[in-house]
Amino acid sequence: MEGAYLILGVFTLLITLFVTTRPFMSKGAVKKGLFWVSLVIAVMVGAHYTITVNRIAKVKSAFDDNKVIICESRATRKVAQTVLIQKSNEWTLQDNNFISPNFGRPFFIARCIVK
């Protein structure tokens, strides 16, 4: 899931490299700029990864306890944007996807929260 953030980070680093190599910048600007921007990107991507992994663990635990899970439905944007998932309602968890014989598509667990 962090692939898009890594691509944005590389793009940001390229912009930083371009700006810090301009004649009006000081001599150490390239090293300082790339270091600090890389550090900020690494912290942000790492934080996103950690938060996502923790949320997945909470959702798995809540699903095992038969609690209600809310997942976003990207199939319809106007009505029923969320789907309520519960183990007792014929939902199963397979390879980090919630699957039901009554529903046409699976839901990736990282896009779900505990109600």
Per-residue pLDDT tens for 23-72?
898 888 989 999 999 999 999 989 989 999 999 999 999 999 999 999 88
What pLDDT score was predicted for residue 15?
Answer: 93
Residue 96 phi, psi (nearest 5): 60, 25
Per-residue pLDDT tens for 12-24?
999 999 998 888 9
Measured CA to CA in angstroms, residue 3 lies from 7, 65, 78, 112, 113 at distances of 6, 32, 28, 19, 21
Between these two residues, 104 and 2, which has the higher pLDDT value?
A: 104
Distance CA 6, CA 17 (A): 16
Per-residue pLDDT tens for 100-109?
888 878 888 8
